[in-house]
């Protein structure tokens, strides 16, 4: 369901066209259907780059941007209207709809690609496309270049330079416009509601996948058709598996459950982690570890400000978590020495966060000219420290083993205070226990 105005997509194309050098051409391929099993495909999701520039959610589509071209700078290729096929597969916009609704200057049947692309490439000095494109896409672009080069004796010039489109396009995507920011606020709100629901319905004896189902139900109730990624619902020691997605074990009284789940709303992701007690009450050990993780998260959110280096946030989390592990006796030694040795990595093996947007691990460079880049207004990042104590770690007292805790929020960098887009999800011990107690009457 498209919610951003079509003018937003037109503005993005204009910005990209204005950035591309004179005499260049850019090609962006849409996504194709992917088979799941016999006669069944996975649910179709458009390629993020393609959707960012078009808002067009049909399969087998292409976008070509040709700066300064008199016949039109924005050219689209798509499946044609076909009343017989539309009975089975649904409405198609067709080339006419690409022009009338989606802002293409010209549009063609996708079956005309091999005929039209060599003509569009002719006379262009530079070709931009994503080097990370799927193999069939790269092969087709290579074939079109070869076809254009074969016309050299007729005076046709093919692009002499091939350049990475991602360098330009992904830098654009890193900075969210006001419309995107509002979309991500709503995605964050819905995601937080899903986590609240999980806390209110959780009971010992439930299956992890039943809790996942409650979250997905809440997402859809508020307008999100799909999750942004495979949900993680890990009870007990399963929380120590960072990408645990089996979600097929019973939740036990006395254990914590870690839920990493986010909704997707018109291609924009939420990404939240909450960890809470299955029975509604933290044990002393669980609370002790939890409070350390929460202190690290709050400190990093507070520092998520314009001008702060992305690496500085991670360093803050490492310092707080390492100090906390020393205070609990889980690590022994000086904090500085333990950090230098990397001893904390047995318990905190990932970084503090990642860009968030149309992809849950969104595009955009983390370094520029070899240096960690500074945060700037319009960026959205996750903040997600964690402590994971492997149940097999015999160097740690048994009472700590199998505790896995992560707390994650989505933060918009602004000109002033950082904005937490997912603040509706409770995360202090007091808030979590109060919500769960209220739900139990």
**C-alpha to C-alpha distance for 93 and 229, rounded to whole angstroms:** 28
Task: Choose, from 354, 362, 419, 433, the residue flagged as catalytic.
Answer: 354
Q: Read out DSSP for 64-100?
A: EE-TT-TT-SEEEEEPPP-HHHHHHH----HHHHHHH
Q: Considering Cα of 304, then 355, then 170, then 185, what sign does the dihedral take?
A: negative
Can 438 be counted among the known catalytic residues? no
The single residue of 243, 340, 398, 415 carrying the catalytic annotation is 243
Residue from 218, 384, 409, 419 carrying the catalytic annotation: 384
Do 231 and 242 form a contact (C-beta atoms < 8 A)? no
Whole-angstrom CA distances from 148 to 13, 68, 106, 120, 255 are: 25, 20, 21, 9, 64
Catalytic residue among 13, 264, 406, 433: 406
Active-site residue identified among 49, 58, 255, 260: 260
Catalytic residue from among 18, 22, 38, 39:
39
Report the C-alpha gap between 73 and 410 in whole angstroms: 36
Nearest to 302 by CA among 380, 407, 384, 411: 411
DSSP state of 258: E
Q: Could you confirm whether 91 is annotated as catalytic?
A: no
DSSP, residue by residue, 285-303: HHHHHHHHHHHHHHHHHHT
Annotation says 195 is catalytic: no
Q: Which of 350, 351, 373, 401 is catalytic?
A: 350
Marked catalytic residue, from 49, 73, 218, 271 = 271
Q: In angstroms, rounded to a whole number, what is the distance separating the alpha carbons of residues 264 and 34?
A: 20
Q: Give Cβ neighbours of residue 178 (< 8 Å, ≥ 6 apart).
A: none
Task: Look up 354 and say whether it is catalytic.
Answer: yes
Active site residue 271: yes
246, 398 Cβ separation under 8 angstroms = no
| 314 catalytic per annotation | no
Active site residues: 39, 243, 260, 271, 350, 354, 361, 384, 388, 406, 408
């Amino acid at each position: 369901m498209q919610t951003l105005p079509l003018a937003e997509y037109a503005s993005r194309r204009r910005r990209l066209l204005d950035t591309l050098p004179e005499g260049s051409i850019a090609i962006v391929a849409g996504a194709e259907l992917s088979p799941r099993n016999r006669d069944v495909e996975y649910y179709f999701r458009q390629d993020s780059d393609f959707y960012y520039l078009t808002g067009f959610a049909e399969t087998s589509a292409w976008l070509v941007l040709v700066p300064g071209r008199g016949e039109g700078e924005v050219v689209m290729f798509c499946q044609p209207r076909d009343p017989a096929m539309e009975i089975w597969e649904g409405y198609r916009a067709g080339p006419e709809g690409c022009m009338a609704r989606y802002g293409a200057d010209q549009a063609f049947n996708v079956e005309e690609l091999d005929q039209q692309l060599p003509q569009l490439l002719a006379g262009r000095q530079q070709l931009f496309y994503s080097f990370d494109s799927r193999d069939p896409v790269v092969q087709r672009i290579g074939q079109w270049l070869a076809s254009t080069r074969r016309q050299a004796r007729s005076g046709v010039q093919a692009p002499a330079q091939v350049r990475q489109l991602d360098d330009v396009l992904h830098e654009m995507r890193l900075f969210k416009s006001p419309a995107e920011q509002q979309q991500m606020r709503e995605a964050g709100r819905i995601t937080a509601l899903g986590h609240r629901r999980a806390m209110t319905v959780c009971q010992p004896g439930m299956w992890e996948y039943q809790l996942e189902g409650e979250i997905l139900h809440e997402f859809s109730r508020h307008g999100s058709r799909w999750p942004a990624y495979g949900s993680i619902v890990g009870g007990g020691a399963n929380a120590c598996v960072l990408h645990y997605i089996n979600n097929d074990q019973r939740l036990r009284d006395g254990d914590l459950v870690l839920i990493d789940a986010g909704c997707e709303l018109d291609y924009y992701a939420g990404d939240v982690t909450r960890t809470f007690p299955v029975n509604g009450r933290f044990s002393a050990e669980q609370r002790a570890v939890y409070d350390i993780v929460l202190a690290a998260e709050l400190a990093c959110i507070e520092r998520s400000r314009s001008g702060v280096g992305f690496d500085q946030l991670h360093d803050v989390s490492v310092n707080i978590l390492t100090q906390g592990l020393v205070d609990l006796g889980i690590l022994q030694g000086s904090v500085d020495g333990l950090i230098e040795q990397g001893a904390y990595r047995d318990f905190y093996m990932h970084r503090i966060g990642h860009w968030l947007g149309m992809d849950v691990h969104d595009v955009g460079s983390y370094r520029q000219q070899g240096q960690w880049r500074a945060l700037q207004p319009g960026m959205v990042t996750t903040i997600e420290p964690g402590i994971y104590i492997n149940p097999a770690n015999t160097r740690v007292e048994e009472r700590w083993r199998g505790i896995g805790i992560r707390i994650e929020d989505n933060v918009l960098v602004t000109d002033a205070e950082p904005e937490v887009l997912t603040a509706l999800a409770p995360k202090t011990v007091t808030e979590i226990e109060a919500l769960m107690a209220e739900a139990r009457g």
